[in-house]
Amino acid sequence: MKASPIYTEIFHDDYIVVLNKASGILTAQDRYDADAPRLDIAAKEEFGKLYAVHRIDKDTSGAVVYARNAEAHKALSMAFEHRKVEKIYHALVWGRPLWEETSSNKRLLVNGDQRHRTIISRNGKESVTYFKNLGSCGPYSWIEARPKTGRTHQIRCHLHDMGLSIVCDPLYSGNQKPVRLSDLKRSWHGDVYEERPLLNRLALHAWKITLPHPQTGEMVTFTAPYSKDLDATRNQLAKLFKTNPLAEN
């Protein structure tokens, strides 16, 4: 298994490659910056040409599936189109929602404002996301999101509409404050000028994906372990507040 600052391998065979993407890299070519670093290009040396079948946001980390040939690409594309794929995301948000489970079916218009954000609009496309509150920890809460459609920024926009902003979201949150241990632990006695944040990027992770294998049709599930920064944050919050989003998984 190859590891790089950009990705780690979760699985590969002759038909698919599943990678755990780092935050900050595109999964496929961007319409606004054709020369931006891309995961499929970075992994090409190891796996050959990869065919994108879905995307996750540049700033989101986690599981990305690629096809390795045209036939697999067609089969996987059809599976996504017919909603035979289940995706589970974990997000750390500001706030403490009162609900245990909820959903949003607000219609979404992609690239709906000058900042290229997705917005709620009756002229938008059908969009459905199911949410589960995994537990609160201080000023934060861990949220599980299961999008049933695949609109750009769907989870981020639906959460924002519900009054919840993902930690360090540069587009949908007015609060860009990173997660620092000094803000959480009363007994912390380090140097505030030398302290490195536990987390200073979008706290959204594509944690698990289930889909039909393009050759056999068998449903297969892949899990992307948290990246080091997100897992360090989870570990510290679990110690301080006894809330662990992975406890029941």
3-state secondary structure the chain: CCECCCEEEEEECCCEEEEEECCCCECCCCCCCCCCCEHHHHCHHHHCCCEECCCCCCCCEEEEEEECCHHHHHHHHHHHHCCCCEEEEEEEEECCCCCCEEEECCCEECCCCCCCCCEECCCCECCCEEEEEEEEECCEEEEEEEECCCCCCHHHHHHHHCCCEECCCCCCCCCCCCECHHHCCCCCCCCCCCCCCCECCCCEEEEEEEEECCCCCCEEEEECCCCHHHHHHHHHHHHHHCCCCCCCC
Catalytic residue among 57, 59, 169, 229: 57
State yes or no: is 57 an active-site residue: yes
Q: Which residues are catalytic?
A: 57
